[in-house]
Amino acid sequence: MEYKAAALVACSTLALALPAVAADPIKIGVIAEAQAVAGSSIGPAAQLAAEEINAKGGVDGRQVEIVVYDNHSSSAESVRAFQRAVSEDKVNAVIASYISEVVLALEPWAGRLKTLMITPGAASDVITQNIAKDYDHLKYTFHGYLTSSALAGLVCDAAKDLLVTPLKMKSAVIVSEDAAWTTPLDAGYEACLPKVGLKVLDHVRFSPDTTDFTPIFNKIEGQKPDVMITGISHVGTQPTVQWKSQQVPIPMFGISSQATNSTFWNDTNGATEGVLFNAVSGPGVAVTPKTLPFVEAYKKKYGNVPAYSGYTAYDEVYMIADAVRRAKSTDSDKLVDAMEKTDYIGTIGHVAFLPKGDPHVHGLRTGKGYITGLMLQWQDGKQLNLWPKELANGTLKFPAFVKVATTR
C-alpha cells in the first residue's frame, strides 16, 4: 500500500515536472530548394538562427527546432512537404522557398491548414494581392522578401542615380525570363523606367529553358539601347557567360538573383565582371549592425557566403521566435496577430509588414527607414556595393567590351 502511494506521488511529481524540464520545442519547417544556388542558403541560415536562439536559452525556455524539407524546386513536392510538416511533424510555422510559383501553390494550404508561412525569397506581387482579396482565409501567409513591383521601383531609383544622371543614359531594353515573378516586375519596369528618364525600346521575355542567348542579344543590340534592364533568377550563368563571350557592348543592370550568390564568379568563370544587380545585402555592407555578424557566422559554419534568401530566412526565424514570445503561444491566429506587429531590425533593414487594408497586406514596408535595397556590381571576383551612396564601397566600372553611352 505504501509502495503504491509512493509510486503515485512519484508519478504525479514526474507528470508535473515534465513540462517544465522539457518544454515542447517551437518547430519551424523549412521547405526550400536544396539544389538551387538561390534556395540552398535558406535551410542552413534558418538552422544558424535557431542555434543562436537556443544557445541563449531559447524562447521562454522553449528550444527552436528546424525541420528541413527539400522540394526539388517543385510546387507539387512543396505541397506534400507542407502537409507532412503540419500534420505529421507538427510544425508551428513554415519558411518556404524562393520560387513564386511554389509560394503561390502553398498559400492556400497555409490557409486551409491554418499554419503561419513566410517566404524568404519569392517576389511575385500576386502573393500579397491574394491575401488582400481574401484576408480571413489567407492571412497566414507573410511575404518576407520584396515584391516584384517594389524591386522594379528600387532598380529604377538606382538606375537614375547610377546611369541616367552621371552617364546620360537615355534608353533601355527590358530582358526577363518568363515566370510568375517577372510579370509584375516587367509592368513595374515599364512604368518607372520612363519616369527616371530611360525610354523603353523593347521588352524581351524568354523561356527559362533557353540555353543559347545569341539570337536574343543580337536582336537587342540591333535596337541600340544604352542599357539592358534584367529580370532573371531561374537563369543566370548562361546569359552572363554568353554576354561576355559574345562581347555584347551593352551593360546589364537589374535583378539577377544568381549573381547575389558568392559562387557566381566561379560558376561563370568570371564572366559576371561588370554585371550590376539589385540585392538586399552584400558582403562587407553593414546595412544594419546585424548584417556582418550574420555573414561571418554563416561563413564560419558553412564555408561560403549566403545567397539573398539566406539573410531573410535567418531574420525570419528570429521574427517567428519573437512573435511566439509576444503572443505567449504558438496558436496560429495569435501568431499571425503578433507577426503583423513585427517591428524588427534584421540583417536587411528595418522589417515591418504592411497592414490589413493595404493592397500588399503582409508585404514588407520599403523605402527610407525600412528596406531600401542595394545595387551591387561584380568587380574582380568581388561584389561591391555602388548604391545607395551612403552604403557604397565601390565605384561603377565596366569591362572593356561594354560601350557606355557617353563614350559612343
- Using the rule CB under 8 A, is 309 a contact of other proteins? no
Selected binder of other proteins within 12, 13, 266, 406 (CB under 8 A): 266
Selected binder of other proteins within 111, 121, 231, 236 (CB under 8 A): 236
Question: How far apart are the C-alpha atoms of 393 and 383, rounded to whole Å?
Answer: 10
| Shortest distance in whole angstroms from residue 180 CB to other proteins | 17
| Shortest distance in whole angstroms from residue 372 CB to other proteins | 28
| Shortest distance in whole angstroms from residue 100 CB to other proteins | 18
Q: Where are the alpha helices (H) located in 198-307, listed in sequence order? A: 214-222, 237-245, 264-267, 291-302
Selected binder of other proteins within 92, 100, 242, 366 (CB under 8 A): 242
Whether the upstream peptide bond of residue 359 has omega within 30° of 0, thus cis, is no
Give yes or no for a contact between 133 and 125, defined as CB atoms under 8 angstroms apart: no
- Using the rule CB under 8 A, is 74 a contact of other proteins? no
Count of CB atoms within 10 A of residue 234's CB?
18
Closest CA to 185 of 147, 214, 219: 147
- Using the rule CB under 8 A, is 37 a contact of other proteins? yes
Pick between residue 13 and residue 35 the one whose CB is nearest to other proteins.
35
Contacting range for other proteins; rule: CB under 8 A; set: 214-222, 284-292, 327-335, 338-346: 214-222
Residues whose CB is less than 8 angstroms from the CB of residue 327 and which lie 6 or more positions away in sequence, other chains included: 334, 335, 337, 338
| Shortest distance in whole angstroms from residue 238 CB to other proteins | 4
Type of residue found at 9: V
Determine the 3-state secondary structure of 297 from DSSP. Answer: helix
Selected binder of other proteins within 115, 124, 176, 258 (CB under 8 A): 258
- Using the rule CB under 8 A, is 75 a contact of other proteins? no
Identify the H or E element spanning 171: strand 171-177
Length in residues, the chain: 408
Residues 141-180 that bind other proteins (CB under 8 A): 178
- Using the rule CB under 8 A, is 12 a contact of other proteins? no
Question: How far apart are the C-alpha atoms of 45 and 360, rounded to whole Å?
Answer: 26
Residues 268-297 that bind other proteins (CB under 8 A): 268-269, 271
Phi, psi at 216, each rounded to 5°: -70, -50
Selected binder of other proteins within 3, 211, 389, 400 (CB under 8 A): 211
Q: Which residues of the shown chain bind other proteins in the complex (CB under 8 A)?
A: 35-37, 40, 73, 178, 206-207, 209-216, 218, 235-238, 241-242, 245-247, 258, 266-269, 271
